[in-house]
Amino acid sequence: MSIFSKDFIFLDQDLNSKEEVFEFIAQKAVNLGIGTEKNKIFDDLLARENEISTGLESNFAIPHAQSSAITKPALLFLSLKSGLDWQNFDDSKAKFIFCILLPKSGFEQNQVEILAKVARIILNPEIKEIILSKDENVIFNSISKFIFEKDQVENHETNSQKIPINAKKVVGITSCTVGIAHTYLAAEKLEMGLKQNGYIPKIETRGSVGPKNVLTKEDIEEAEFVIVASDLEIDSSIFDQKKVYFTSTKAAIHETEDVIQKAKKATILHNKQKKQTQNQENRTSIVKHIITGISYMIPYVVFGGIMIALSLGIGKAIYGNAEAAPKGDFLWWMLEIGVIAFKLMIGVLGGYIAYSIAGRAALAPGFIVATVGNTNDLFYGIGGISVQTPMGFIGAVIFGILVGYSVKYINSLKIQKSLSAILPIFVIPIGVSLFWSLIVIFLIGAPIGWVLDKLIAGLKHVFENKDGIGIGVAFLLGLLLGGMAGFDMGGPVNKVAFLTSTALVSTQVYEPMGMMAAAIPVAPIGMGITTLIWRRKFTKEEKSLGLSAIIMGFIGISEGAIPFAIADPKRVISANVIGSAVAGGLAGLLAVTNQAGHGGPIVAILGAVGSIKHGIGLGIAFFFLSVIVGSFTTALIYGLWKDRNFNIFSNLTRKNHKKGAK
């Protein structure tokens, strides 16, 4: 069976998510005899996708993976009935899927070289027109021609680009984790971009077939500057004392012109700078995995918090302020369901952090170890330490990362094929789970739990202090959390503040979540109010966008302000941060609490908001006061600052045009 045949073409498939696409591909790989284990192929495709999106441009995506479950290299093509969000860098929906599957070993070098050309096919304007014909024979013949005829793609557009006689040379290296698609597409985009800027490019590719177009010492000496676009660690000592710009293959593909301009201004490389760059990339990667875990955890937080808040709020109204609903009452069952959701969310956080790092095999160990860390009764009392507080979110983050990288390391080991099948079924779930669980129980659990005991006790003392330092700390903490919530509207900074506040909810410290709940809706509601008050400064489309933002803010979705922030970042983000900080600070000053891990007026309506100091009624009133004051602060700042002639939609269009032109 060849690398590509008519049997590998699947047109007009009704698939509605990346997961469904990968499930379909994995099943077809087994059916076609190019793979042996559907679940393993699925896991490897998903793990690769989690590292860097394989979405490209013009409705194309090229998911790919090397897997021990693949027996023969192959190229599959799918067209979808409706486009999917694949994080394509031109914001197009993925409708045309080229999937490259490679075994871990046992393939010929020329096979990989052929498959690598697939990443460059999309640069040819004819390919999309051919695919849209929906003629299977035409599609098969055309794709075969592109990938099998030598230099068909590589020479595309090359001859039309004229380079000045005295042009300076620029060299670079590209390398991605699998070494197929992004490696070669990044090189192609950099070469095209450098030629358009009047340079002579030479880009070394370090892909699955080994280094190609290798740089010589003379090449490097002659180079004006160097671009290293790599998702792997690259020994850059050969570039010492040269101007070197480090970036990712994703940036080289998506933001080619921006990368080139930054590379022109790069500083001379020293070994110390190289290490700092690599450390920064590692930190960014870990943050990405933590945010993945948080995104899977949020539904548990919201559901559990709302159930607990409704049960306690209605129970106090019926049975008295000091009484909860009696056992067996419907409200008691609601409370217990909410408590279970809160217990599960710790395991979910740890499990999906591990899953983000190492795929499905790491999910169960991450979940189990995080749950063990959240069960303080299991901790061995070192030195007679009595622990009342479990490791909670801190344990989930720590052991999600440790489990994830443990599983990733095990999967990277070269072992016999006959033994590889037992790794995800036996070795990883039992060995990894047991090892780290014992570490938690006998070594780490008690000391960390003891420290958290003291921290929680200190925070409770601060928030129970009705005057002096307690009020001051609450106000400053509210300013900080609120400002973080408004800074990137659902992004990493917002997520850090959210995770901190949610972690304290699980320990019955509800004030920080009250601050976050008041700050979260300020950015979208504030933008919406601005479009209503300063109507003459906005177009009809922008006013419609503002109305949508208000609705999203009401239900606690801060992303409603993102279109405004993208188009006019300096003014919008400044206004959002100030308004959100005001809301958070005011909520802290007035001792607003929130028992649900969510924000916006919706949580007050559902009964999650209140105040330990002032009671439920005043707590809700103070919450709405904080939201209103913060939202109008944002609206006032942006409304007065905004240029009447600045149009959001036209600016977005200009930005997208520039982005697409790179």
Q: What is the CATH number of the domain that holds 246?
A: 3.40.50.2300
What's 216's DSSP letter?
A: P
DSSP annotation string for 471-518 = HHHHHHHHHHHHHHHHHHSSSHHHHHHHHHHHHHHTTT--HHHHHHHH
Residues 416 and 296 in one domain: yes
pTM: 0.51
pLDDT tens-digit series, residues 355-364: 888 888 899 9
The interaxial angle of helices 109-116 and 181-196, nearest 10 deg, is: 50
pLDDT of residue 275: 47
- For residues 340 and 437, membership in a common domain is answered with yes
Domain termination residue (choose one: 241, 269, 297): 269
Residue 329 is assigned to a structural domain of this protein: yes
**323 contacts 335 by C-beta, under 8 angstroms:** no
* Structure tokens belonging to residue 139: 């599609």
Would you state the pLDDT for residue 576?
95
Summarize the confidence of residues 443-456 as an average pLDDT.
85
DSSP alpha helices (H): ranges in 535-568? 540-554, 562-567
Does the structure show a pLDDT above 60 at 468?
A: no
Question: Among 55-69, 240-254, 300-314, which stretch is predicted with the lowest mean pLDDT?
Answer: 300-314
Domain membership of residue 280 (yes or no) is no
The confidence score (pLDDT) of residue 210 equals: 66
Q: If you average pLDDT over residues 2-16, what whole number do you get?
A: 89
Confidence of residue 418 (pLDDT cuts 50, 70, 90): low
- The CA distance from 357 to 341, in Å, is 24
Do 81 and 183 reside in the same domain of the chain? no
pLDDT at residue 310 in the model: 79
| Confidence at residue 464, expressed as pLDDT on a 0 to 100 scale | 65
Q: Report helix angle 522-533 to 540-554, nearest 10.
A: 150
Per-residue pLDDT, 152: 42
Does residue 126 sit in the same domain as residue 181?
no
Q: Is the pLDDT at 55 greater than 90, yes or no?
A: no
**What is the separation of C-alpha 611 from the centre of its chain, rounded to a whole number of angstroms?**
34
Q: CATH number of the domain that 22 lies in?
A: 3.40.930.10
Q: Which two tokens stand for residue 556?
A: 């606690």
- In percent, the amount of the chain with pLDDT more than 70 equals 83
Q: Which of 125-139, 415-429, 610-624 has the highest mean pLDDT?
A: 610-624
Give the model's pLDDT for residue 85: 86
Is residue 144 domain-shared with residue 216, that is, in the same domain?
no
Residue 650 pLDDT exceeds 50: no
Q: So which residues are the catalytic ones?
A: 176
For residues 320 and 432, state if they share a domain.
yes
Range of the domain at 252: 169-269
pLDDT of residue 190: 93
| pLDDT at residue 466, as a whole number | 56
At 313-338, the pLDDT tens digits run: 777 677 765 456 778 888 889 989 98
Average pLDDT of span 633-654: 69
Mean pLDDT (whole number) for 602-619: 86
**What token pair was written down for 74?**
């192959």
449 has pLDDT over 50: yes
Name the domain count of the chain.
Answer: 4
Residue 279, pLDDT > 80, answer no
In our burial notation (b when 16+ CB lie closer than 10 A, e otherwise), range 423-438 reads bbeebbbeebbeebbe
Assigned domain for 355 exists: yes
Does residue 648 surpass a pLDDT of 80? no
Give the pLDDT of residue 398: 93
Integer CA distances (angstroms), 508 to 447, 460, 503, 511, 643, in order: 21, 9, 9, 9, 46
Domain assignment of residue 403, yes or no: yes
pLDDT recorded at residue 653: 42
Asked if 505 and 513 touch (Cβ cutoff 8 Å), the reply is yes
Where a domain ends, among 242, 269, 296? 269
Q: Identify the band that residue 607 occupies on the pLDDT scale cut at 50, 70 and 90.
A: confident
Return d(Cα 498, Cα 438) in angstroms, integer.
Answer: 30
What integer pLDDT is reported at residue 128 of this predicted model? 73
Q: Are residues 486 and 610 in the same domain?
A: yes
Mean pLDDT of the residues in the chain: 82
What span, in angstroms and rounded, lies between the C-alpha atoms of 395 and 447?
Answer: 12
Does residue 363 share a domain with residue 243?
Answer: no
242/337 same-domain check? no
With bands split at pLDDT 50, 70 and 90, how would you rate the model's confidence at 178? low
Of 148, 178, 194, which closes a domain? Answer: 148
Q: What is the pLDDT of residues 489-525, one digit of tens each?
A: 766 788 778 888 888 887 788 899 999 999 999 999 9
pLDDT digits (tens, 9 = 90+) for 210-266: 678 889 988 999 999 999 998 776 777 788 889 999 998 878 887 899 999 999 998
Classify residue 407: in a domain, yes or no: yes
Rounded CA separation 394/19 (Å): 29
pLDDT at position 229: 92
Residue 617 belongs to a domain: yes
The residue type found at 26 is: A
Question: Residues 185, 249: one domain?
Answer: yes
110: number of Cβ within 10 Å: 10
* pLDDT attached to residue 107: 56
Residues forming a β-bridge with 9: 77
User: Which range is least confidently modeled, 138-147, 386-395, 595-604, 653-662?
Assistant: 653-662
Is residue 409 in a domain?
yes
Q: Are strands 593-594 and 609-610 parallel, antiparallel or unpaired?
A: antiparallel
Q: Decide if 350 is inside a domain.
A: yes
Q: How confident is the model at residue 154, as a pLDDT?
A: 42
Whether residues 365 and 433 share a domain: the answer is yes
Q: What pLDDT is stored for residue 517 in this prediction?
A: 94
Same-domain status, 131 and 70: yes
Can you give the pLDDT at residue 421?
64
For 536-594, how does the pLDDT look when each residue is reduced to its tens digit (9 = 90+)?
A: 888 777 788 888 889 989 988 887 787 788 677 888 999 999 999 999 999 999 999 99
Percent of the chain's residues with pLDDT above 90 = 31
Residue 615: C-alpha distances to residues 321, 618, 623 (Å): 9, 6, 12
